Each structure stands twice: as structure tokens, then as C-alpha cells.
Amino acid sequence: MHLKPIVPPADPAPWPEARADDAGMNWMWLEEGARFATENEVPWPYDLRLHLESGFFEKPPFNEILGPIRPRGPANGLILRGGYKIATWGDTDQVDFTFSAAKSYLSLLAGIAVMDGLIPDLDDPVRRLVDDGGFEGNHNGAITWRHLLQNTSEWEGELFGKSDQIDRNRSLAVEGRGRKGDARPLKAPGTHWEYNDVRVNRLALALLRVFRRPLPEVFAERIMRPIGASDSWSWHGYRTSSVEVDGRMVESVSGGTHWGGGVLIHAEDQARIGLLMLRRGDWNGKRIIPESWVAESLTPCALNPNYGLLWWLNTGATRYASAPAGSFFASGAGGNITWVAPEQDLVAVMRWIDPAAVDTFTRLIMQAME
């Protein structure tokens, strides 16, 4: 690459662009990748309420929508190299729900809590800091912060009107099918990996308890404003998720849009978050996230080597064969993906791409670097 890497100026200043050749990339393959992403939009209806109510994730009455939801827009996205905008497609200022990419944002907040000393040790039981009835007894009482962040907690209970059993036996390989919701005996915390939205929401509530402030306030103050993000994003919970904190009612946010709620955001702001992770938590010389936390977040879970602390990994290139093994992702249902490839100094944001097309997209972008 012939260009010196940059940090983009704060929104609404224009994001610096660079020609593909100057960024060490082939423009024809970039254009083909953008065209491919546009033409391979996820086959979801634009009315997301219809999709959630259709029983895609689970059958009635367990699919009841508790949080805000609104229609989505068309496919869009962008590619950064060296911090420069190299390619875009669609409307990258289109604010949409991003589903489980929000889980990775909870990981960033956990990193802030660790940096501030609010969570002294990830391997401490959560009950030592959170005394709200959610971590009592021998089973839930053994759950640590690491368990929650790795999706190995096996937390048992009901939260905001949703039982953890709704997502038991969930397999993302057959999302919308399979044995999800079937009863099964719980295993000891830390011994079983399962993607479970209720348990992630329990983590969000636990983080609210230690910050004692609404998580969107902390996210804005400590992450989004320092990296120059827009003010068009928002983060929501459910009509059932307000809890008392120091005498006032505060909404606990959700880690996805499984039952409505979650993060509304556009691709440009997601690219900034990806670039922050690419730069190991540093933003123009200012330490936003501890570098040690980024390393911890990208360390493979022993029970699922393609998962870190609420970030998806590509260990051994087994998640996406065409992407570098060192890649990592914030990933949400409906093809909402932030792809970070550190060795290539690359960040790509895909909104509403068909999940079956992601590997081919990564192959086209990697070909642009050859």
C-alpha cells in the first residue's frame, strides 16, 4: 500500500477516500465484490416485524416481540484499507437494526468496565458484584463474567419475560430449524457452549448493575464520541426490561434484535468500531479500549475455537475458508457483518448480505489484494 494509514475525522466531515491502486488493491475485483454483495441480498422481507412474527427464530408464543422494530433498507456496505474508504455500495448512512452484532458492542463495554476496575477479574463469580437475584444458588452462583462473555454460562432462569430455554439447543447452522427450545439438562457453567440471547441479555443487565448508568450513555461517552461516530445510532431494550438503579428506572438493553430492540446503526459507524478493533483499541493516539482487552476478546474459546468474547473468529479459516485465519467479525442475523482482517489492514461492513454469500464476498476482496 502506497498510503500512510489514517484515522478518519469525526462525523460529519467527509471520510477520506483513496483509489484502489494507491491502496494496493485491484479496482476490478473490488467492483465485482461490491456488485456481488448488492446482488446477493438476504432473502428477508423488508418488514422485519413480519419476519420475526413468522416464527423464523421460534414459534408462537415464544416469538413475542418485546422491543421496538421497524422495516429495514436494502443491502449496503463499505470497505476500508489503511483507514481510507476504498469502495462502497448502497446507502451506507442507512440506519438499521444490526441484530447480534450488538453482542460485540457489549464486549467493548465489558472491556471498559475492566479498564475502570469495575470488574476486577473475569474469572470471578458474577454474584460477587451483582446481587439482584439472578446469580443465586449453586448453579447460577458459579457463573463468571468470562462464562457470560464466551456463551458458556448455562445461566438458568427467566428474564424480561423470556426463558433461557427458548434458546437451548440452538444451532446457528440451522437457524429457524432444528431442536431449538427443546428441554435439555443443563451442564456446569463453563462446560458447554451455546448461543443464547436470554443469557446475553443477562450479561447486559449485569453490566448495567456495575456501571449503574444506562449502557447507551456509557457507549456514547467512552466509545462512539471518541471515535467520531455520528449521533444517529441508538440502543434499545424491551418494554419489560426497565430495572431500578439507585432509585430510578433504567432500561436494560438487549444484545440483539431477536425479540425487537437492540442497536440501530449505519455502516459508517460500524466501520469506525471495526477500525477501533483493528487498531487494537487505539484511536489517533488515544487509548479507548485496553489492548489487552482486544487480545482477550480475540482469544479462542476452548469449547468453540471460532468464538472469543462475543466476537466471532476464523481460527484455522474454518468459519470462512476464503478469509484470512486471523479475521474476526461482529456478526448479526440477516447478514449484518463487520469483517476485520488485521494483517491486511482491512475493515469491511456488509449489511443485509445473504449469509450463504459471505465466503464468496471475502474471496473476491482477497483477490483484489493479489
The residue range of the domain holding 197 is: 103-253
The answer to whether residue 21 sits within a structural domain is: no
What is the chain's Cα-based Rg?
20
**Range scoring the smallest mean pLDDT among 99-108, 177-186, 200-209, 291-300:** 177-186
**Distance in angstroms (rounded) separating the CA atoms of residues 230 and 253:** 20
Helix, strand, coil % over all residues of the chain, rounded to 5: 30, 20, 50
Q: Do residues 36 and 360 lie in contact, with contact meaning Cβ atoms separated by under 8 Å?
A: yes
Q: Clarify whether residues 242 and 285 are in a common domain.
A: no
Q: What is the pLDDT of residue 176?
A: 55
Give the three cell numbers for residue 59.
414459534
**Distance in angstroms (rounded) separating the CA atoms of residues 162 and 173:** 23
Q: Do residues 329 and 359 lie in contact, with contact meaning Cβ atoms separated by under 8 Å?
A: no
Helix (H) or strand (E) segment spanning residue 339: strand 336-341
**Distance in angstroms (rounded) separating the CA atoms of residues 146 and 299:** 12
Q: What is the pLDDT of residue 201?
A: 98
Helix (H) or strand (E) segment spanning residue 312: strand 312-313
pLDDT digits (tens, 9 = 90+) for 151-168: 999 999 999 999 999 978
Q: Clarify whether residues 132 and 244 are in a common domain.
A: yes
Give the three cell numbers for residue 246.
439507585
Q: What is the pLDDT of residue 183?
A: 81
Neighbours of 7 (CB within 10 A): 18
pTM of the model: 0.96
Q: Which of 253, 282, 315 is the last residue of a domain?
A: 253
Q: Clarify whether residues 248 and 123 are in a common domain.
A: yes
Q: Clarify whether residues 177 and 121 are in a common domain.
A: yes
Residue 156 belongs to domain with CATH number: 3.40.710.10
Helix (H) or strand (E) segment spanning residue 347: strand 346-351
Q: What is the pLDDT of residue 178?
A: 58
Mean pLDDT over 20-25 rounds to 95
Q: Clarify whether residues 138 and 34 are in a common domain.
A: no
Q: What is the pLDDT of residue 220?
A: 98
Average pLDDT, the chain: 96
Q: Do residues 86 and 18 lie in contact, with contact meaning Cβ atoms separated by under 8 Å?
A: yes
Mean pLDDT over 246-272 rounds to 97
The answer to whether residue 68 sits within a structural domain is: yes
Q: Clarify whether residues 172 and 191 are in a common domain.
A: yes
Q: Clarify whether residues 225 and 83 are in a common domain.
A: no
Q: Clarify whether residues 63 and 154 are in a common domain.
A: no
The answer to whether residue 265 sits within a structural domain is: no
Give the three cell numbers for residue 160.
424480561
Q: Do residues 204 and 219 lie in contact, with contact meaning Cβ atoms separated by under 8 Å?
A: no
Q: What is the pLDDT of residue 173?
A: 65
Is residue 56 very low, low, confident or very high in pLDDT (cuts 50, 70, 90)? Answer: confident
Q: Clarify whether residues 120 and 245 are in a common domain.
A: yes
Q: Clarify whether residues 126 and 228 are in a common domain.
A: yes
The answer to whether residue 16 sits within a structural domain is: no
Residue 241, phi then psi, degrees to nearest 5:
-105, 20
pLDDT digits (tens, 9 = 90+) for 284-331: 999 999 999 999 999 999 999 999 999 999 999 999 999 999 999 999
Using the predicted structure, report yes or no on whether residue 181 has a pLDDT greater than 70: no
The answer to whether residue 10 sits within a structural domain is: no
Q: How many domains does the chain have?
A: 2
Using the predicted structure, report yes or no on whether residue 73 has a pLDDT greater than 70: yes
Q: What is the pLDDT of residue 2?
A: 74
Using the predicted structure, report yes or no on whether residue 229 has a pLDDT greater than 60: yes
Is residue 169 very low, low, confident or very high in pLDDT (cuts 50, 70, 90)? Answer: confident
Q: Clarify whether residues 284 and 246 are in a common domain.
A: no
Give the three cell numbers for residue 204.
447486559
Q: Clarify whether residues 213 and 145 are in a common domain.
A: yes
The answer to whether residue 353 sits within a structural domain is: yes
Mean pLDDT over 352-361 rounds to 98
Using the predicted structure, report yes or no on whether residue 174 has a pLDDT greater than 60: no
